[in-house]
Amino acid sequence: MTGSSGGSSAATVAFVGIFGAVLGASVTGGFNYLSHQGDLDAKMIELSVGILRAAPTPETTPLREWAIDVIDKKANFSFNEQQRSALLKKQLPYLDAWGWQLEPVPRSGIDDKIVKKPPL
């Protein structure tokens, strides 16, 4: 009788070991997914801000609307209608690492040159 009891406990130990390994891998995968989801949200917000920094044109209006919606959703921040309108019609001002405000200088309709202005 002790022989059949030993086989049963070996099967139980094997089952518990396999179950523990699967559960451990699942929990680790879940935490990995959740931690990287925040990284993806940050990248989407960074991309959206980059879009809003560009000078608005009629062609970029849908892209700017998308960028505003991404910030609304991913940053848990809601723009009111006045803010949304301003972001659609105006370029988002920004400072470089030294505190200089960067603004494009229009040249023949191309806004690709950057000049530095001292901080206000």
Weakest-pLDDT range from 74-78, 81-85, 87-91, 114-118: 114-118
- Are 62 and 115 part of one and the same domain? no
CA atoms within 13 A on the CB side of 57: 8
Closest CA to 84 of 60, 98, 97, 66: 66
84 and 43 fall within a common domain:
yes
Mean pLDDT of the chain: 78
Q: Is the pLDDT of residue 1 over 50?
A: no
Q: Are residues 18 and 50 in the same domain?
A: yes
Same domain flag for 85 and 98: no
Q: Provide the number of structural domains found in the chain.
A: 2
Q: Given this model, what pLDDT does residue 32 score?
A: 77
Q: Which helix (H) or strand (E) holds 115?
A: strand 110-117
Please check whether residues 79 and 107 belong to one and the same domain: no
Residue 25 structural domain? 2-89
Mean pLDDT of 81-95: 86
Residues 112 and 78 placed together within one structural domain of the fold: no
d(CA 14, CA 9): 9
Q: Are residues 66 and 81 in the same domain?
A: yes
**Residues 80 and 101 occupy one common structural domain:** no
What is the mean predicted confidence (pLDDT) over 18-31? 84
Q: Let me know whether 42 and 101 are in one domain.
A: no
Burial degree of 33 (CB within 10 A; 0-12, 13-18, 19+): exposed
Residues 71 and 50 in one domain: yes
Q: How far apart are CA 53 and CA 6, in angstroms?
A: 71
48 & 85 share domain: yes
Q: pTM of the entire structure? A: 0.55
Judge whether residue 65 has pLDDT over 90: yes
Between 67 and 40, the more confident residue is 67
Co-location of 70 and 107 in the same domain: no
